[in-house]
Structure 1
């Protein structure tokens, strides 16, 4: 289930590049208003598989109608579109209820009006689909150097990138449904790639924007669309949308 939220700004606003952290804070604040029990479950528990917990929601960057790029952030005015998604309807519904209550939200220190909230129609999922990112995809592996263990963020051309994304998606499926998926999935990144570096709660996180082809089990493709690809989905990474070329093909 996916929402499109249209924010309206009272004049020009400035947000630093790390603003996804603000969006995450806004989400937890608003879902708590909508349904405190759901908010507590999402924040404290999530969906567990072995030692890992998955939030199973994701959200996009902001897409303003007017913007001015600066080295330290972005200036926006008029309106901005923002997307939120989860395979759990109760999470989306609780958030929608919370965000609708006052007609306003706070993104960092900025007050924004809610102009419109829409439930987006889901695409028809097939065995081969082309997507584009609405927020950067993060994939990483651990690397040991001597006594130190560090995380290495993978470039889309790294052979491990596809494997890590596919394995991560299968783990999300198992956390959600409690069983192995029947099918498999292949993920093919397509150039050009755009590298983005964010600071999330004091940690530098590198992700990539791109187009990509997903091939395989439509149920896994649907989960990628609703829960996000890769890591840190609940921090605003890994959201994908149908690519415009795919949409033109579907209209024929």
Structure 2
């Protein structure tokens, strides 16, 4: 399930370039049950030695401009964001919290939730086209000359699809308590350019990811999970949120489904 949220504010909202953690904090505060909020924040869902939070969120969307001092971004209301999760309780807790506490504070500035729309992530076909509304990131820890470093893959490298698939399988096992019966899953970049690569700082850590439009092919349950849990890694830090889109055959650009 996805939640499409519209925010209003009395004044434009000014945020630093590094603001994913601010949006993440707002989402955690919206989770209504304090105990569940703490459990999700501190632990999440364990797969072997890795913890998954099983929610994903988009970038803050709307009209934007750079601050005059070029030290941040100005967002002009109304603003939109998408939060998604395959875990029904997370969606219910978020919806309850938003209803009780629609006013939020971002970087010391207040905004209010105007509308919340629930969007089904049910998929009936074996192929869908999606648009990334937060960057998709997958990576490997490597070593060069005895020094460790993180290598982030682009959608044009074969390892990108392998890592996205493996990550999605882990989420599937967590959600359904079994591996997928049909393990076929493919990610094809169909409208992705170098400008779609985004370099984001999250609490000081540099993370590279990719926006763009992609074709997902495979078992419909895997495609549904991609929409509700996100693609790739670091979903709960604001990476890998995708929405269905229609494609123009003429110019290969996509627009979000209404």
Give the alignment's TM-score, normalised by structure 1.
0.91
Does the CA contact (< 8 Å) of 1:47 and 1:176 recur in 2? Answer: no
For 1:206, the equivalent position in structure 2 comes to 208
Contact 2:123 2:220 in 1 (8 A): no
Note closer, same or farther for the CA distance 1:19–1:125 as it changes in structure 2 (3 Å cut). farther
Question: Deviation at 1:102?
Answer: 2.9
Partner of 1:39: 37
TM-score normalised to structure 2 length: 0.89
Q: Distance in 2 between matches of 1:16 and 1:125?
A: 40
Q: Does 1:68 align with 2:65?
A: yes
On the 8 A contact 2:30/2:101 being kept in 1, the answer is: no
Q: How does 1:198-237 map to 2 (within 5 A)?
A: 198-237=200-239
Shift of 1:19: 1.5
Q: Are residue 118 (structure 1) and residue 117 (structure 2) matched? A: yes
Distance 1:203 1:237 in 2: 14
**Alpha-carbon deviations, 1:180-202, whole Å to 9, x = none?**
11112111122333011111111
Which moves more between the two structures, 44-53 or 229-238?
44-53
Q: Contact 2:58/2:82 (CA < 8 Å) preserved in 1? A: yes
CA distance in 2, matches of 1:78, 1:121: 26
Structure whose residues are more often helix by fraction: 1
Q: Which runs of 5+ in 2 are unaligned?
A: 249-253
In structure 2, C-alpha distance between the alignment counterparts of 1:105 and 1:225, rounded to whole Å = 26
- For residues 154 and 77 of structure 2, the distance between their equivalents in structure 1, rounded to whole angstroms, comes to 35
1:106 corresponds to 2:105:
yes
The answer for the alignment partner of 1:2 in structure 2 is 2
2:185 is matched with 185
Conserved? CA contact 1:138–1:230, under 8 Å: yes
Q: Distance in 1 between matches of 2:116 and 2:174?
A: 29
Q: Larger deviation: 100-109 or 22-31? A: 100-109
Q: Distance in 1 between matches of 2:24 and 2:82?
A: 12
SS in 2 for 1:221: helix
Give the whole-Å Cα distance in 2 for the aligned partners of 1:118 and 1:19.
24
Distance 1:67 1:148 in 2: 39
